[in-house]
Chains A and B, each alone.
Chain A
Amino acid sequence: MADKGLIKTRAEDAFAGHFASLPADDPMRDIRADAFGAFAQKGLPHRRIEDWKYTDLRALMADAPAPAAPAAPEVAASAMTRADLFDGIERDRIVFVNGHFVPSLSETSGLGDAVEFASLGRFLADGGAILDRYDLADPANAPVLALNSAFVGDGAAIRIKEGAKLARPLEIVTLFAGDEPGLQTLRHQVAVEAGAEATILQTYAGPDGVAYQTNIVAEIRVAEGARLNWIKAQEEGDEAFHLGLILPRLEAGAVFDPFIFGAGSAVARSEIRMAFDGEDAISNIRGTTIARGSQHIDTTLVLDHAVPGGLSREFFKAAIDGEAKGVFQGKITVRQAAQKTDGQMMSQALLLSERAEFANKPELEIFADDVQCAHGATCGQIDEDMLFFLRSRGIDAKTAQQLLVQAFLAEAIEQIGDEAIIDVLEARTRRWLGVAEAA
């Protein structure tokens, strides 16, 4: 049912206009029309929709730019300096600029025979049947997935073959270039086959002062005994709107370890909706959010333990300064069949200013009787006793605060386990804190 009481927002109208302007001969026309219909019926979610209570898109999204055209090659190339976070790490790289795969900026020589990669654009041109998989009437799938299906132009289709172990990480760069706002919509499909192991990094970056939008959906399948580390670094430009949805399915004994580093954008929501399909799968989900100014950064996790023996760990830290707002929503559902599930969730926020805000919403829904589940959520200020102790040793107030915030965030970062990635994210955190790097 449509929310008849609500007048369409400027952004909703803009989406409708952009949708009407899509080429008429698109082979995916029907799928897109269904998806956009599902979006249009409900519109942007708002605070009375429980899942979006703290991130009211009706209020936050002022407008919606038209799908971005590919960037001129020199514009795209020079924008790459913004996506340099992982430059110290040997890696392969798949680059999308303004929502379009750019082979000339990509580097896939290290992937060898172990990995099949194709840009999704090719499949989309064939009619896009592969996208027709989600129940768009399900409110959980709206609006990010519906908008994604309606506007998706490209993405990465990645298959890591059975038993393959990637020698170095693979990075997916999502970069916006240019000074005109635009919408970039990507859909990734990642399959890590049985026994395979990979680390996939994702970097999101773009210019400050441009109100572009990123809509990204990643469908991930981690097969039996496979292992995937998934590091998302959200460093969008300061006026960007970022909507990310990660949809992992874990088969028996799979290990999926995502880390969400949220630092950029005006408004961002990074959401993971994870299904434990096979027994004894493990997921360690961690992340840090650093926000200041008037940023709004939301991390939402929905875990569905449907089968026995799953283990999930959620550990999130946030440091919020200025008038920024952080949101953490974590929901763990343990179905009746999912005995011996072990789920632990912890979210801790540090408020660094009077007007900083954090909304912490842990939820457990347990229908099985032999499980171990726990959650904790804290929200506080810097510990005065710790601050005094450091100052009593001659460390000035600013440096002492930097040390404490850094230490607080590092507790989550250090659980990543990969020293090179830990170093990158800790150095990035220190830059955010204004710590001068020792020569």
Chain B
Amino acid sequence: MLEIKNLRVKVADEDAEILRGMDLKINPGEVHAIMGPNGSGKSTLAYVLAGKDDYEITAGEVLYNGANLLEMAPDERAAAGLFLAFQYPIEIPGVGTMTFLKTAMNAQRKARGDEELTTPDFMRRMKEVAQKLKISPDMLKRPLNVGFSGGEKKRNEILQMALLEPTLCVMDETDSGLDIDALRIVADGVNTLRAPDRSFLVITHYQRLLNHIVPDVVHVLSKGRIVKTGGKELALELEERGYADFVEEAA
């Protein structure tokens, strides 16, 4: 599904490398977690996969279902099935949440050569998913993320994920800013989306999210490289011992 080979990345116009030779392979249906301290390159990885253009790829490649991901525009990546759940979802005044959702769904369908959804079909699907995520109709009428609480913004991300039906979901610190109830709603939303042909890359600081979204593989990212890979028990070990041990191991 996703194969990252020796990826080296720096911020455009700066010298310091953030990802320094990263390798990662995710098979269909797998849930991988990436954990790591601040500044280890977690969010950079998420943005580079989604195609944000503030970064410069200096080496390596990323294959997504065999295609060269790094050559695709952000909207092409989305249409190909990649989804980034933002750590800080953007507020867009004046763009209604429903208008946005419909535009996005139809843009992807169009890019894939599918028929566009009719408004009643769209409404039906949206209402069904929104209800599960406890997203009120009132929220859907408001401009995108404007005036939403932290939890509402994250639930809105999961709503988009559910409607767009990606094959690879990259979740960038989706647990940040969530109280325990919101965390459960978000995790339930993700778990219902787990499928044999859908993979997840869950980026997080804390182990607690992984109690709810149980990963198949856990990686520790430090200084732009994966320094340890293990099963779900690795997350517990990290929680107990902190990152220091692993970071030193790598050094």
Give chain A's interface residues, CB within 8 Å of chain B: 385-386, 388-397, 399-400, 403-404, 406-408, 410-411
Q: Name, among A395, A399, A404, the residue most crowded by chain B CB atoms within 10 Å (CB to CB).
A: A395
Q: Counting CB contacts under 8 A, is B75 at the interface?
A: yes
Q: Which chain A residue lies CB-closest to B145?
A: A389
**Interface on chain A toward B: helix, strand, loop, or mixed SS?**
helix
Could you tell me the distance in whole angstroms from the C-beta of B82 to the nearest C-beta in chain A?
Answer: 9
Contact present for A391 and B94 (CB under 8 Å): no
A contact residues around B164 at 8 Å (CB): 393-394
Is B93 in contact with chain A by the CB < 8 A criterion? yes
B75 and A391 form a contact (CB under 8 A):
yes
**Is there an interface contact between B92 and A392, defined as CB atoms closer than 8 Å?**
no
A392 to B78, alpha carbons, bound, how many Å?
Answer: 6
Identify the closest chain A residue to B96 (Cβ).
A407
B202 within 8 A of A: no
- Which B residues, 64 to 107, have Cβ-Cβ distances below 8 Å to chain A? 73-75, 77-79, 83-84, 86, 89-90, 92-95, 99-100, 103-104, 107
Contacts A394-B78, A396-B75; A386 near B90 (Cβ below 8 A): yes
| Complex contact A391–B73 (CB within 8 A) | yes
Partner of B103, one of A388, A392, A403: A403
Residue from B74, B95, B100 within 8 A of A388 (CB atoms):
B74
Interface residues as binary, B176-214 with A (CB distance below 8 Å gives 1, 0 otherwise): 000000000000000000000000000000000000000
| Distance in Å: Cβ of B114 to nearest Cβ of chain A | 12
The answer on a CB contact under 8 Å between A392 and B94 is no
Q: Is residue B167 within 8 Å, beta carbon to beta carbon, of the partner chain?
A: no
**Set B79, B86, B90: member contacting A394, Cβ < 8 A:** B79
Instruction: Indicate whether B51 reaches chain A with its CB closer than 8 angstroms.
Output: yes
Nearest 3 A-B pairs (CB), nearest first? A407-B94, A394-B78, A394-B108
Q: A397-B73, A407-B92 are in contact. Are A392 and B107 (CB under 8 A)?
A: no
Instruction: Write 20 A-B pairs (CB below 8 A) sorted by A numbering.
Output: A388-B74, A389-B86, A391-B74, A391-B75, A391-B78, A392-B50, A392-B51, A393-B75, A393-B160, A393-B164, A395-B104, A396-B75, A397-B73, A400-B75, A404-B95, A407-B93, A407-B143, A408-B94, A410-B94, A411-B94
B90 contacts A389, CB within 8 Å? yes
Measured as residues with beta carbon below 8 angstroms from the partner, the interface class of chain B is 20 to 34
Report Cα–Cα, A79/B121, bound state, in Å: 42
Q: Given A388-B52, A390-B100, A396 and B107 touching (CB < 8 A)? A: yes
Residues of B within 8 A of A393 (CB): 75, 78, 100, 104, 107-108, 160, 164
Chain B hits for A396, CB < 8 A: 73, 75, 107, 111
Kindly state the separation between the CA atoms of A388 and B75 in the bound complex, as whole angstroms. Answer: 9
A407 touches B74 (CB 8 A): no
A400: chain B residues within 8 A (beta carbon): 75
Q: Which residues of B contact A403 (CB under 8 A)?
A: 95, 99-100, 103
Chain B residues whose CB sits within 8 angstroms of the CB of A397 once the complex forms: 73, 75
Taking the nearest CB of chain B, how far is it from the CB of A406, in angstroms?
Answer: 7
Contact A404 B73 (CB under 8 A): no
Closest chain B residue to A389 by CB distance?
Answer: B90
Determine if B111 and A394 form an interchain contact, defined as CB atoms under 8 angstroms apart. Answer: yes
**B108 closest partner in A (C-beta):** A394
How far, in whole Å, are A406 and B77 apart by their CA atoms in the complex?
25
Residues of A within 8 A of B51 (CB): 388, 391-392
Contact of B92 (CB < 8 Å), options: A389, A391, A394? A389
Shortest CB-to-CB span from B159 to chain A, Å, is 11
A388-B52, A388-B74, A389-B89 as given contacts; A394 in contact with B94, CB under 8 Å: no
How far, in whole Å, are A169 and B75 apart by their CA atoms in the complex?
Answer: 44
A410: chain B residues at CB < 8 Å are 94
Whether the pair A411, B93 counts as a contact (CB closer than 8 A) is yes
Taking the closest CB of chain B, its distance from the CB of A438, in whole angstroms, is 9
Bound-state CA distance A401–B95 (Å) is 12
Distance in angstroms from A383 CB to nearest chain B CB is 8
A406 and B104 contact, Cβ closer than 8 Å, known pairs A391-B78, A392-B74, A392-B78? no
Cβ of B152 to closest chain A Cβ, rounded Å:
16
CA distance A197 to B22 in the complex (A): 69
Tell me whether B73 and A392 are in contact (CB under 8 A).
no
Residues in A with CB closer than 8 Å to B104 are 390, 393-395
Q: Do A395 and B50 touch (CB < 8 A)?
A: no
Q: Report B-chain residues with C-beta under 8 Å of the C-beta of A411.
A: 93-94
Question: Chain A nearest CB: distance from B36 CB in Å?
Answer: 22
Tell me the B36-62 residues at the A interface (CB within 8 Å).
50-53
Please tell me which one of the listed residues A389, A399, A407 contacts residue B107 in the complex, with CB atoms under 8 A apart: A399
